[in-house]
Structure 1
Amino acid sequence: MTDNAQMLAEQRRALILDEVRRRGGVRVNELTRQLNVSDMTIRRDLDALARVGAVEKVHGGAVPAGPARTHEPGFAAKSALELSAKEQIARAAARLVSPGAAIALSGGTTTYALARELTGIERLTVVTNSVPVSEVFEQAHRAGGPAATVVLTGGVRTPSDALVGPVADRAIRSLRFDLLFLGTHGVSPEAGLTTPNLAEAETNRTLVASARRTVLVADHTKWGTVGLSTFAELSEVDTWVTDAGLPSEAVETARELIDEVVLA
């Protein structure tokens, strides 16, 4: 390989890495069109970037590599992050809920913020695998608010205070609900919705399968983060309620894959 060819390869890989970081993932077929090279060339570039730990290859493309893949912060630690964005998302998502609805809320700090917005709605049935979410409704009722029917799934408790595992999965499979409000560790066009916790991934898949409509509630910082396990493709999400901090390029990409993207 000549020095000029080597330089071209390095420049191309730098462009690819920038795209991965900016968009949260890339597809081989998109890169071939964008860079006007063959599939084989792009795959070699991705192999080279993967060898140095810059990206992780996934089916059809690549996503960012990083420690977020297996690290699961605790509920308290996550609660302190992006508070304003989570509150805005929660208020916007709450407008999707009508009195008498049967809904589900997954574990997570954004769904916890949403639960606090829902306590004034009459005759709700709430399925959740989140201990903090169930406590929000109980405390609101004790304070004189409407009584929601809360179904807590049971299961094994994760660091993020979600209940997961076979007990939770069996309970969820026996139920059907109108709306699922789903939190996530990461959002990527390539890897979809991901979490570092394998058991939580399976429980989240079960929640998605039991819902007529899935609403993702996740702030802009989740874009480009990829956890160990994928539990849903973006095409399985009906609505994504996020905040205005999501970059315009990410909004465009998300709208190609999700029916509705709401910026709170």
Structure 2
Amino acid sequence: MLAAQRQERILERLRREGSVRVTDLVGDLSVSDMTVRRDLDTLEVRGALRKVHGGAVAPEGPRTEEPGFAAKSTLQAAQKHAVARAAAELVEPHSAVGLSAGTTTALVAEYLRERPGLTVITNSLHVAEVFHRSERSDQTVALTGGFRTPSDALVGPLALASVRGINLDTLVLGVHGMAERAGFTTPNLMESDTDHALVEAAETLVVAADSSKWDTVGLSTIAPLDRCDVLVTDDGLAPDARRTLEEHVGRLVITDVPPETG
């Protein structure tokens, strides 16, 4: 088992139970006491946990919190639809497009269902299902293999092997958070590796992130802000955040969110 896989297993148990014991992890991971302690040291340096006598506890703050897909899909729904619609408009027909996992990118897929001639690479079960329902004969969809995360992303060595060596015209990337220093982030170490590989494969990087993602920092950085060619967000973005992003990303697209009715 790779170090990143072990550490993600530790974090999954920590999220589930709130604390972990070294002795339990030794048995669970089938590694030595020293290996577990090195993993805990690494995760503590990254802010993912706090070591205590005999084990570790969850830290304060949201860096490692990863709600499931269903829970996240109810948050900022109007903003996500507006962002997804605008991001989908940036994808050319008859192009190779990557779609990362996430609720916003699943909505992008909905807006791309009728786009002709797409070749789609994704590590998202939900994105693949959207295109499967469209039943278009002129679209090709490839779903990576891998381990399944709480957000229904496929990650790990199989996912990385599927992504490496491909060339994408455009990647639409969903993120957990974005900040000036940390860049675009996720709370999942292995998902970060897969997303980074997708970024490296893309000629054009489009990040689709609603305004609530600003100043949220996940555990692992996927890419710095200046790697982004186009950032699509909504009109709830604060003026200072807008200025910061305009200084760093290639182009900032601000979408209008329709007012609530009823």
State the TM-score, normalizing by the size of structure 1. 0.73
1:85 counterpart residue number: 79
Match of 1:151 among 114, 123, 142: 142
Deviation at 1:66, TM superposition (A): 5.3
For 2:87 and 2:188, the matched residues in 1 are separated by 25
For structure 2, list consecutive stretches of 5 or more residues without a partner in the other structure.
1-46, 48-58, 256-262
2:101 counterpart residue number: 107
2:209 counterpart residue number: 218
2:185 counterpart residue number: 194
| Structure whose CA Rg is larger | 1
CA contact (8 A) 1:75 1:159 kept: yes
Answer yes or no: is 1:251 the counterpart of 2:249: no
Match of 1:242 among 229, 233, 240: 233
2:114 counterpart residue number: 120
For 1:95 and 1:237, the matched residues in 2 are separated by 17
For 1:164 and 1:174, the matched residues in 2 are separated by 16
Deviation at 1:146, TM superposition (A): 5.5
> Residue deviations 1:164-214, cap 9 Å, x none?
111101110121110000000010001011111100011111011100010
CA contact (8 A) 1:176 1:210 kept: yes
CA contact (8 A) 1:173 1:210 kept: yes
- Within 5 Å, which residues of 2 pair with 1:67-78? 67-78=61-72
- Within 5 Å, which residues of 2 pair with 1:13-24? none
1:228 counterpart residue number: 219
Moved more, 66-75 or 111-120: 66-75
For structure 1, list consecutive stretches of 5 or more residues without a partner in the other structure.
1-52, 54-64
1:61 counterpart residue number: none
Deviation at 1:112, TM superposition (A): 0.4
The DSSP-based 3-state class of the residue aligned with 2:108 is helix
Deviation at 1:67, TM superposition (A): 1.9
Larger RCO of the pair (alpha carbons < 8 Å, separation 6+): 1
Deviation at 1:97, TM superposition (A): 1.5
For 2:212 and 2:61, the matched residues in 1 are separated by 15
Q: Kindly, what percent of the aligned residue pairs are identical?
A: 50
> Residue deviations 1:86-140, cap 9 Å, x none?
1111111111112101100000000001000000111100000000000000012
For 1:160 and 1:146, the matched residues in 2 are separated by 29
Which 4+ stretches in 1 moved above 2 angstroms? none
Q: Match for 1:167: what amino acid?
A: L
